[in-house]
Structure 1
Amino acid sequence: MGLKSISSSLSKNDLAHLGEGEIGYIRKMRSEEVSRCFPEAPEMGPGIDLWALFGADGTPILLTDNRSSTFFKAAEDDLRTVTLH
């Protein structure tokens, strides 16, 4: 059984908007990383495990210490979720 190759090219702009408004990704992060993605977040002590929800384009949506909250927010915003490892 051979594999079929599909040749399709996406522009950088098309790729940047792929999944926009439809897909959100969930990522576990440490408090030391928060200011990079959520500059408006208050200062936190080191070593805290947190969960973040981002739009497909990387836009930060939610930061929480409760993983379940990310799924509830994604459902509220009609986003299908994927987990980033």
Structure 2
Amino acid sequence: MTLRSLSNLDFARLGADAVAYLRPVVMNGALAFSIHAADGTPIGAAPNADLAAAAIRQHDMEPMLVH
């Protein structure tokens, strides 16, 4: 099987238990970072990217940045 043959759902599940992503958002007028599971489910937020990445690593996952 190649990556090109994966469905969107299969691709979203790839590494679902090992990866979480963070993306910049504006919350209450200030820059913050939302934390999402690999499938897009929101699982948290942090005031900056370093804290978001630390929270992700605390749960034995690897942070990925989405811009």
Higher strand content, 1 or 2? 2
Query: Aligned to 1:9, which of 1, 5, 9?
Result: 5
| Structure 1 residue aligned with 2:61 | 79
Give TM-score, length-normalised by structure 2. 0.78
Taking only the aligned residue pairs, the percentage that are identical comes to 29
Secondary structure in structure 2 of the residue aligned to 1:68: helix
Q: Which blocks of at least 5 consecutive residues in structure 2 are unaligned?
A: none
1:63 CA drift (Å): 1.0
User: How far apart, CA to CA, are the structure 2 residues paired with 1:67 and 1:7?
Assistant: 29
For the aligned residue pairs, the C-alpha RMSD in angstroms reads 2.0
Equivalent pairs, count: 66
1:7 CA drift (Å): 7.5
1:53 CA drift (Å): 1.3
Which of structure 1's runs of 4+ aligned residues deviate more than 3 A?
Answer: none
Give TM-score, length-normalised by structure 1. 0.64
CA radius of gyration, larger in: 1
**CA deviation profile, 1:19-51 (whole Å, cap 9, x unmatched):** 2011111111012xxxxxxxxxxxxx4x21111
Shift of the 8–64 alpha-carbon distance from structure 1 to 2, 3 Å rule, reads closer
* 1:57 pairs with 2:56: no
Query: Aligned to 1:18, which of 4, 8, 14?
Result: 14
User: How far apart, CA to CA, are the structure 2 residues paired with 1:69 and 1:12?
Assistant: 29
